Amino acid sequence: MAILTRAARTDRTPVDPATEPPAPRRTSPHTVLAAALLAFFVISLDGSVVNVALPAISSSLRGSMADLQWIVDGYTLMFAAFMLSAGTFSDRVGASRAYAWGLAAFTVASLACGVAPNLGTLIGARMVQGGAAALMVPASLALIRQSYTDPGKRARAIAIWTAAGSVAVAIGPVVGGMLTSGLSWRAVFYLNLPVGAIGLALLTRIAPSPRRQAPVDLLGQFSVVVGLAGLTYAVIEGGREGWASTSVLGTLVVAAAAAALFVTTQSRSKQPMVPLSLFKSRTVLVCLAAGFTINAVFYGAIFLLGMYFQQVRGASPVSAGAMFIPMCALISVVNMAGVKLAARKGARVPMAIGQLIMAGGSLLMLTVTPHTSFIIPVLLLVPIGLGGGLAVPSLTAAILEHVDSERAGTAAAVLNTSRQVGSCLAVAAFGALIADTSRFQHGMDTSFVISVAMLLATAAATAFLLPRLTHKAGD
């Protein structure tokens, strides 16, 4: 308002500096980027840091395999479910306000996880974490977009933001192992507290974001939450209670009804949360399937091997976390290589090659037994991480280049939801397969066979159904 006041003056009367309203402080883009990086880093870290701590949590709180699955999937489920409408909500209340609410909720939920006296409290707090994380992701990106007006600087800022997430995913198992061994599994969650405090402090230096009228599809959002929760419950509990049990079959019916409600509401709404016409694109469908599969195999492998190293081989949490270092060290480097390869050959090439590399690593995992040298699974994890790191940047670029610009945000949200659902269902399904510890080897082998089959199918779809180049899409 002070700028408008000055601009409106037509007289030359001297102004007393003591009474003149202060000019609004311009937020440094670097401050905004720092806040956005903190959010995405801690969100990505929480997606992988807990896996190595699961055996310690099970021992401390006397949890079953199904309980451990819910600790991981409670977070991922709510992250996936609320991702679709989080961007709209961020626009409606303002990105800075949405970010603040999300970060505050995430920090408080992290504290609740750390002090949780029982598994029910821990799982509930993890769900709150996931919902808060979903709110922060689009808000942090919107803050970057608002602060960096130069397209080149904005692109570099987003690249740094993306790299922070890759680094967090990469070091998650290592950090989780070190904290669990050195302190306690509770320290895994306490780690978020200082990060949240710093992020909230940075927010006090960021100017409020503008709001815009954006409809929130409550019925559509409700159907997504119920559908994904029902499907996840059925997969997890099917491994414990049996697939023919009344609760599992009933939950599957509820999930199917929720899916039907979602399709109905989106087809009839004038402003749907997810326009169904988006799925008419062959490219979009292939990218969604590939994103689902890549995340399912990557996070499924982390879950399986984290349990294998500790429960089957008796490794400590810190040793188990260290087993993931070779795989994780390559992810950020390969991300950049994937971007450069896509620039020369189009997205199809790195996507297909990355999935085939992951399939090769998953296939070789069938040679791992309870007596295999530790170095073998450690080395076989490398192609799984390498292939995923190669494919994901091109996957994102491909889907964004093949939708209209006004639907880019929605397409990105749908892709991220598909990837998170892949992670969620992989942990649910693979956990069910290894729930019987006497048949752990069979369950792990079956999980990797499923991984190979999925990857070969989506790699073939990528190779034969995606256009050769990714310039513009009229498929």
**Amino acid 289: pLDDT:** 93
DSSP structure string for 38-65: HHHHHHHHHHHHTGGGHHHHHHHHT--H
- Tallying the residues shown for the chain, one arrives at 475
DSSP structure string for 97-138: HHHHHHHHHHHHHHHHHHH-SSHHHHHHHHHHHHHHHHHHHH
Reported as a single tens digit per residue, the pLDDT across 385-394 is: 889 888 887 7
| Distance between CA atoms of residues 258 and 265, nearest Å | 10
Reported as a single tens digit per residue, the pLDDT across 75-112 is: 888 888 888 777 777 777 777 788 888 889 999 999 99
Q: Is 92 helix (H, G, I), strand (E, B) or coil?
A: helix
Q: Is the dihedral of CA 89, 95, 99, 100 positive or negative?
A: negative
Q: Do 27-212 and 277-475 fold alike per CATH?
A: yes
The residue among 67, 315, 73 whose CA lies nearest residue 180 is 315
Under 8 Å between Cβ of 228 and 127: no
**Amino acid 452: pLDDT:** 96
**Amino acid 406: pLDDT:** 59
Largest Cα–Cα separation, the chain: 88
| Domain locations in the chain as residue ranges | 27-212, 218-270, 277-475
| Distance between CA atoms of residues 115 and 227, nearest Å | 30
pTM over 0.85? The answer is no
**Amino acid 115: pLDDT:** 92
What are the tokens at 18? 């003591």
What are the tokens at 139? 């808000």
**Amino acid 394: pLDDT:** 79
| Distance between CA atoms of residues 106 and 79, nearest Å | 12
- The interaxial angle of helices 375-401 and 151-182, nearest 10 deg, is 150
How far separated are the first and last CA of the chain, in Å rounded?
49
What are the tokens at 296? 């399912």
| Distance between CA atoms of residues 49 and 70, nearest Å | 15
| Distance between CA atoms of residues 120 and 66, nearest Å | 12
The residue type found at 352 is A
The residue among 451, 423, 64 whose CA lies nearest residue 241 is 64
| Distance between CA atoms of residues 222 and 82, nearest Å | 9
| Distance between CA atoms of residues 449 and 454, nearest Å | 9
Q: Please give the class, per CATH, of domain 277-475.
A: mainly alpha
Q: Is 377 helix (H, G, I), strand (E, B) or coil?
A: helix
**Amino acid 204: pLDDT:** 76
The residue among 408, 391, 406, 375 whose CA lies nearest residue 466 is 391
Low-confidence ranges of the chain (pLDDT < 70): 1-27, 150-155, 158-159, 207-214, 239-240, 332, 335-336, 338-339, 342-343, 400, 404-409, 468-475
Under 8 Å between Cβ of 80 and 128: no
User: Which CATH number applies to 27-212: 3.40.50.460, 1.20.1250.20, 3.30.70.260, 3.40.50.720?
Assistant: 1.20.1250.20
